[in-house]
Structure 1
């Protein structure tokens, strides 16, 4: 198991070398395997990429992202809103009919409804990829087109996890209540934790995913 100092060094190196992120103003702290990112970046995409980069480092059990987005080019809220609406219309994964976009001081609030969790997350991705965005608040409600039994959803999530070679589901417990999937138990790395969420999101009938998995890295 890497020490906090080793994890710190690896995260700093990874952020410095990755072309997706300007790490000049990013400060990294590690305590008991928990990585905390502080400082500023130019785009919301860089903020999310920084979390992803840190999460892949061996020994990381959680990532707390406190990065603040300070765009180098300021854009009007209406321009940001128009660009997000256009991106939603172009996105084949999203039915934007019932999605409402509001922007205030660069902060995007998404509301309305979609049929799947995958659509909700795709809409959020479209928003944070838009230049000038400093934060995204996703209040979209998932209303499945066809209601499914909780047991059927649970069986599908379990089967999908079992098929995926990236996941060791030996210690993963799955519960579905009112179409909300709860993931509990332990995985060996932070990446597996979020892959499990992603798999659950794509399951038909799911309204939300609550990921309570803990990371217990191998020694």
Structure 2
């Protein structure tokens, strides 16, 4: 098990290694595997990159993000400008179904609503707008319309886990209630936890995934 000092050092090194992040403005603390990121960054894309960088570090069990997005002078945009850019980004994304997602912008914060059939479409919409200039945050409230029964969801999920995360699948307990999936069990790293969760989201009809997996030291 890493000490808090070593974990903090490793997270700082990972942040420094990622060219998309200005580490001078990010503070890091660690306690019992929980990492807290503080400070301010110049875009929502940079904040997201910092979160993902911390998640990659072995030994991280949870992350608290207390980073504010502070746009540099000259990068500010009106909500109307951002809304138009968001509309165009959604229209130009080949993965986002036409007319299914509605954006709203307030204070630079983008909220996405609507309904799609697949999780990858929901994520594609978020990815399309996250890096736009002037965006300070994204709330993705797009829903997934279920297409399968609970038994079909569980069957397809176990098949997906066998293909994508075979080592983890042997130690997992999967609960399915309607189109909602709950994951229990032990994994060896945050990356493995993410892989199992990704496999669950890959099943058509899944509308929510509760990841209760425990990361071993």
TM range (shorter): over 0.9
Residues 25 and 58 (structure 1), Cα distance of their counterparts in 2 relative to 1, 3 Å cut: same
**How far is 1:127 from its partner?**
2.0
Q: How does 1:88-107 map to 2 (within 5 A)?
A: 88-107=90-109
Name the counterpart of 1:162. 162
Equivalent in the alignment of 1:38 = 38
Match of 1:75 in 2: 77
CA distance, structure 2, for counterparts of residue 209 and residue 130 of structure 1: 28
Give deviations 1:30-87, integer Å, cap 9, x for gaps: 0101111011111111111111111111211111212111121101111111111111
Contact in 2 for aligned 1:34/1:64 (Cα 8 Å): yes
2:119 maps to 117
CA RMSD of superposed structures (Å): 1.5
How many residue pairs align between the two structures? 215
What's the CA shift for 1:10? Answer: 0.9
CA contact (8 A) 1:7 1:60 kept: yes
Structure 2 residue 59 is matched with structure 1 residue 59: yes
1-structure distance, mates of 2:18, 2:71: 19
SS of equivalent residue, structure 1 residue 168: helix
**TM norm structure 1:** 0.92
Deviations 1:66-120 (A, max 9, x none): 2111121101111111111111112122113121111011011111211122211
Q: Is the 8 A contact 2:117 2:204 kept in 1?
A: no
How far 1:9 moved relative to its partner? Answer: 0.6
Partner SS state of residue 67, structure 1: strand
CA-to-partner distance for each residue in 1:128-185, whole Å, 9 max, x for gaps? 12121111111212114xx211111111111111212585223221111111111122
Aligned partners of 2:2, 2:199: CA distance in 1, in Å?
29
Name the SS for the 1:75 alignment partner.
coil
Q: CA deviation at 1:25?
A: 1.0
- Contact 1:33/1:59 (<8 A) preserved: yes
2:158 matches 1:134: no
Counterpart CA distance in 2 for 1:41 and 1:206 is: 34
What TM-score, normalized by structure 2, do the two folds share? 0.93
Question: Do the aligned partners of residues 176 and 8 (structure 1) sit closer, same or farther apart at CA in structure 2, a change above 3 Å counting?
Answer: same
Answer yes or no: is the 8 Å Cα contact 1:16–1:22 preserved in 2.
Answer: yes
Structure 1 gap ranges (5+): none
User: Is residue 171–residue 186 contact of structure 1 (8 Å, CA) maintained in 2?
Assistant: yes
